[in-house]
């Protein structure tokens, strides 16, 4: 009975002739799945099954990378995690130019930071000013990639950053195990 009621509520929600866009969101009218026009906060009429309004939050959000390990150009190992403050600048691009703008932003932050840190020269980490300049360059590189789908990076900071760590792997992937059993 609970599953039937849940399905019924979902169908009624979908067939309801209004979509709501909250005050902190912006929406895009879609007609037959294609973007038509952008709308602000409010309750918007739709023709069920033919039109819809898709909303996206416009307030800044924090995206965090997981703890990562990378070998720097100097041959030393660094471990880091970072946080980026991001916000959607173009609603239509965020919905239609990428599959999931939130997940893509997080994955790009992880990949770009790892790649750029691996290629950075050792002297870039020596003083606070050099590290700050490196962070500005990393933020610009990340912002350039995310702006393609309407997301802006306004701040980037390391949560953790350590070099010359000894890494021990306690968990091993079963695909890499060499076994003689069939």
In a domain, 180, yes or no: no
3-state helix, strand, coil in the chain (%, to 5): 35, 35, 30
- Same domain membership, residue 158 and residue 86: yes
Q: Tell me, what's the pLDDT at 171?
A: 66
Rounded to whole angstroms, the Cα distance separating 22 from 5 reads 26
* Cα–Cα nearest to 105, from 151, 169, 71, 172: 151
Q: Give the pLDDT confidence score for residue 165 in this predicted structure.
A: 72
CA nearest neighbour of 91 among 139, 141, 38:
38
Instruction: Give me the pLDDT at residue 16, please.
Output: 76
- Residue-range definition of the domain harbouring residue 38: 17-57
Please state, in angstroms and rounded to a whole number, the distance separating the CA atoms of residues 39 and 53: 8
How many CB atoms within 10 Å of residue 54? 18
User: Are 66 and 105 members of one domain?
Assistant: yes
In this structure, the answer to whether residues 141 and 122 fall within a common structural domain is yes
- Give the whole-angstrom CA distance, residue 156 versus residue 110: 12
Contact 23, 41 (CB under 8 A): yes
**Local confidence pLDDT in tens for the 182 residues of the chain:** 678 888 877 777 777 788 899 999 999 999 998 999 999 999 999 888 899 999 999 999 999 999 999 988 888 888 899 999 999 999 999 999 999 999 999 999 999 999 999 998 888 888 888 888 999 999 999 999 999 999 999 999 999 888 877 767 676 555 544 444 33
51 and 81 part of one domain: no
What CATH number should be reported for the domain holding residue 142? 3.30.479.30
Residue 175 lies in a domain: no
For residues 52 and 114, membership in a common domain is answered with no
Give the model's pLDDT for residue 182.
Answer: 39
How far, in Å, CA of 130 to CA of 39, rounded? 43
In a domain, 5, yes or no: no
Say which residues have a Cβ less than 8 Å from residue 28's Cβ, sequence separation at least 6.
35, 36, 37, 38, 39, 53, 54, 56, 91, 92, 95, 96
Are both 48 and 70 inside the same structural domain? Answer: no
Residues 88 and 117 in one domain: yes
Give yes or no for a contact between 142 and 84, defined as CB atoms under 8 angstroms apart: yes
Whether residue 75 sits in one domain with residue 102: yes
- Tokens at residue 53, please? 């309004």
Q: Give the whole-angstrom CA distance, residue 176 versus residue 84.
A: 34
Are 97 and 150 within one domain? Answer: yes
Same domain, 140 and 154: yes
Please indicate, yes or no, if residue 139 is contained in any of the structural domains.
yes
């Amino acid at each position: 009975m609970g599953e039937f009621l849940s399905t019924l509520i979902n169908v009624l929600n979908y067939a309801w002739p209004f979509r709501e866009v909250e005050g902190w969101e912006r929406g895009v009218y879609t007609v037959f799945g294609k973007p038509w026009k952008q709308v602000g906060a409010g309750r918007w009429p739709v023709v069920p099954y033919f039109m819809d309004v898709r909303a996206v939050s416009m307030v800044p959000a924090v995206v965090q990378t997981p703890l990562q390990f990378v070998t720097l150009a100097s041959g030393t190992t660094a471990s880091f995690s970072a946080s980026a403050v991001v916000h959607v600048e173009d609603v239509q691009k965020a919905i239609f130019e990428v599959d999931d703008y939130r997940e893509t932003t997080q994955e790009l932050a992880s990949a770009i930071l790892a790649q750029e840190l691996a290629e950075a020269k050792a002297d870039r980490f020596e003083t606070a000013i050099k590290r700050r300049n490196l962070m500005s360059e990393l933020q610009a590189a990340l912002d350039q990639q995310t702006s393609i789908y309407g997301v802006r990076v306004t701040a980037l900071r390391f949560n953790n950053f350590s070099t010359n760590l000894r890494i021990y792997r306690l968990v091993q992937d079963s695909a890499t195990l060499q076994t003689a059993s069939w």
